[in-house]
Chains A and B, each alone.
Chain A
Amino acid sequence: MANGTTGSPEILENLKLELRRGCLIVAVLAQLRTEQYGYTLRKALADDGLAIDEGTLYPLLRRLETQGLLVSQWREEDKRNKRFYRLSPVGEQILNHLLNEWQSINTSLNRMLQEV
Chain B
Amino acid sequence: MEILDGYLSAVKRCLPRKQRTDIVAELREDLLSELEARAEELGRPLTDAEQYAILMQHGDPMVVARRYSPNRRSLSLGWELIGPELFPAYLFVLGLNLAITVAVIPMSLMIYHVPISVQPFILPVAAQIVCVTAVFILLNLVRVKFPQQWIYPPAELASVIPLQKWYSVSGLIACSVLTLWWLAIPYFQFLVVGPSAGELKLAPVWHRYYVPVFLLLLAGIGQRAVSVVRPDWTWLLPTSRFVISGVGAVVMFFFRTHPLVVVDTSAKDLAHAEKLARSANAWMGWGLFGPWLWIYLAIGALFYAWYSLPHLRRLLHARQHRLRSVHELNGVL
Contact = CB atoms under 8 A, between A and B. Distances in A.
Nearest to A60: B67
Interface of B: 19, 23, 25-27, 29-34, 57-59, 63-64, 67-68
A55 B66 CA distance: 9
| Majority secondary structure, B binding face | helix
Contacts of B67: 55-56, 58-59
Nearest to B67: A59
A77 B316 CA distance: 36
Interface string A21-43: 00000000000000001110010
Given A53-B59, A58-B23, A81-B25, A42 B64 contact: no
Interface residues of A, number: 16
Given A38-B26, A81-B25, 10 more contacts: A38-B29, A39-B33, A53-B58, A53-B59, A55-B59, A58-B23, A59-B67, A74-B25, A81-B29, A83-B25
A83 B27 CA distance: 10
A42 B25 CA distance: 17
Contacts of A58: 23, 26-27, 30, 67-68
Contact of B30 (A39, A56, A59, A62): A39
Nearest to A40: B33
A101 interface: no
| Majority secondary structure, A binding face | helix
B148 to A, nearest CB: 12
Nearest to A82: B29
Instruction: Please name the 5 residue pairs, one residue from A and one from B, whose CB atoms are nearest each other, closest first.
Output: A39-B33, A55-B64, A59-B67, A38-B30, A39-B30
- Which of A56, A59, A83 is most buried by chain B, counting CB atoms within 10 A of its CB? A59
Contacts of A42: 30
Given A54-B58, A55-B58, A58-B68, A80 B29 contact: yes
B201 to A, nearest CB: 54
